[in-house]
Amino acid sequence: MPEAAMSHSTPQAGEMPEDVLISVRRLKKYFPIQAGWMKKTVGHIKAIDDVSLDIRKGETFGLVGESGSGKSTVARLMLRAYDLTDGQILFRGGNGEVIDLSDLTDRQMRTMRREMQMIFQDPYSSLNPRMTLLQLVGEPMLIHGVGSQGEIRDRVAELLQVVGLRPEYINRYPHAFSGGQRQRIGIARALALNPSFIAADEAVSALDVSVAAQNINLMQDLQEKFGLTYLFITHDLGMVEHISDRVGVMYLGRLMETAPTDQLFAKPLHPYTEALMAAVPQPDPRGNRTRKRVPLKGEIANAANPPKGCTFHPRCPYAQPVCGTDEPALRAVAGGRQVRCHFAEELTLTGVTT
C-alpha cells in the first residue's frame, strides 16, 4: 500500500468505545478490472471507498442504498470474506478484548467466525439440498470441533426449536420446507456457535410480506434473547425503519448519511436519502403523513469511474457548481448524525412530517 494511502491517523484498537461491538474505519475495497488474454489490470471498481462506521452492542444497524451501492461488500469485508484494499475492522471479542480483524490470517479469522455470522438473501440457493437439517445446522459445530455427535444432535434439536421448527424434522432435507422455513434453518445455522454479531444481507427480501414479517419478528426476539448485534442490509426502507436503531445510507461505495432511525425518517439531511424515501409508496394510516415527492433521476454511476466532486451530484436536484468539483466529507452534525453534503444545513428536505 502506498504510504500516502496509509497516512490517515488510524485510531488504535484500545480506543474503540466500550459500547461498540464492531468498528469499520476508512474501509476501501477496489476490485481490479482485467482485460485481454493476459488479464491485465486496466482499472478498478471502487466498490467501497472510505467507509467508517461503528455498530454498538445489541443494536441493529440498517444499511440501505440502491443496488450496487456497496452494502453487501461492506458486510463481506466485515466478516473478512474479502481481503481489504485498505482500512481497519475492529471487533470486540467475547472476553471484551478488541481484535483488529484486518491483521488476522485466514486461520485466525476462522476462529473469529464463531462470533460473526452471516444470513443470506436467498433461502433456496444458500442451503445445500443434499444435507439434512442435522448436517446443515450442525456443520459449523463440526467444522469448529465443538461437541460430540450426541451433543451436536441435541444442540441442533434445541436450535430448531429456538427458530420455531419442530425438532422431529432433524433428518429432513431443505426441499421439504417453505422459503420462510428455509430462512429459519439458515438462522438456526447462524446461531449454532453462539455468535454476537450477525450480518443479514437482504435476509427476508425473497419472501412474501407476511412470512418476511414473521421472520423479522423472530430475528428481533432472538436479538433480545441472545443479546445479538445485527447489521441489516436491505433496499427496503420500510423494513429498515421497522427493525433498525440506526441507519447508514450508502451511495457508490460511500456513506452519505448516518442517523438514528427515527431522526432519519423524520427528516433526511442528504438529498439522496430524501430521493430514496420519495421512491417508496408510503402507507398513510393517520391521513397526516406527507412526503415530498422527489423522483430519483438517472442511474447509479459507474463505480469504476465515479463522478468528480460529490458522487451524487449528477442526480441531485439541489446540485450547485461546487458539488461538481469538491467532494464533501462525511461530517458530524447535531443529534448524533453524519452527512456528506455541502448544503445539508441549507436544504430544507421534508422527509415525513407528522
Binders of ligand ATP among residues 131 to 160 (CB under 6 A) are none
Q: Which is nearer to ligand ATP, 156 or 233 (CB)?
A: 233
Binding-site member from 25, 26, 28, 71 for ligand ATP (CB under 6 A): 71
Binding-site member from 16, 55, 59, 69 for ligand ATP (CB under 6 A): 69
Binding-site member from 31, 169, 173, 318 for ligand ATP (CB under 6 A): 31
CA dist 49 and 5 (Å) reads 12
Binding-site member from 9, 41, 67, 171 for ligand ATP (CB under 6 A): 67
Task: Report angle CA 223, 225, 228 to the nearest 5 degrees.
Answer: 35
Residue 221, C-beta contacts closer than 8 angstroms, at least 6 positions apart: none
Binding-site member from 185, 243, 303, 349 for ligand ATP (CB under 6 A): 303
Q: Which is nearer to ligand ATP, 74 or 141 (CB)?
A: 74
Strands 60-64 and 229-233: parallel
CA dist 204 and 126 (Å) reads 13
Q: Which is nearer to ligand ATP, 30 or 343 (CB)?
A: 30
**Measured on CA atoms in the order 131, 232, 76, 196, is the torsion positive or negative?**
negative
Q: Does 309 bind ligand ATP (CB under 6 A)?
A: no
Binders of ligand ATP among residues 214 to 273 (CB under 6 A) are 235
Query: Which of these segments, 62-70, 168-176, 279-287, 319-327, binds ligand ATP (CB under 6 A)?
Result: 62-70
Q: Does 73 bind ligand ATP (CB under 6 A)?
A: yes
For the CB of residue 72, give the shortest distance to ligand ATP in the complex, in Å: 3
For the CB of residue 64, give the shortest distance to ligand ATP in the complex, in Å: 9
Quick one: DSSP state of residue 132? -
Q: Which is nearer to ligand ATP, 88 or 234 (CB)?
A: 234
Query: Which of these segments, 65-73, 96-104, 256-264, 305-313, binds ligand ATP (CB under 6 A)?
Result: 65-73
Q: Count, in order, helices (H) and strands (E) of the chain.
A: 9, 14
CA dist 213 and 232 (Å) reads 14
CA dist 138 and 276 (Å) reads 40
Q: Does 68 bind ligand ATP (CB under 6 A)?
A: yes
Task: Report angle CA 346, 318, 267 to the nearest 5 degrees.
Answer: 55
Query: Which of these segments, 63-71, 90-98, 102-110, 281-289, binds ligand ATP (CB under 6 A)?
Result: 63-71
Q: Does 126 bind ligand ATP (CB under 6 A)?
A: no
Bridge partners (DSSP) of residue 46 are 30
Q: Does 72 bind ligand ATP (CB under 6 A)?
A: yes
Q: Does 65 bind ligand ATP (CB under 6 A)?
A: yes
Size of the site for ligand ATP (CB under 6 A): 13
For the CB of residue 353, give the shortest distance to ligand ATP in the complex, in Å: 29
Find out whether 89 and 100 touch, Cβ atoms under 8 Å: yes
Q: Which is nearer to ligand ATP, 303 or 330 (CB)?
A: 303
Bridge partners (DSSP) of residue 178 are none
Q: Which is nearer to ligand ATP, 47 or 191 (CB)?
A: 47
Query: Which of these segments, 60-68, 93-101, 218-226, 340-348, binds ligand ATP (CB under 6 A)?
Result: 60-68
CA dist 171 and 16 (Å) reads 44
What are the grid coordinates assigned to 199, written together? Answer: 450480518
The string of DSSP codes covering 172-232 is: --GGGS-HHHHHHHHHHHHHTT--SEEEEESTTTTS-HHHHHHHHHHHHHHHHHHT-EEEE
Q: Which residues bind ligand ATP (CB under 6 A)?
A: 31, 45, 47, 65, 67-73, 235, 303
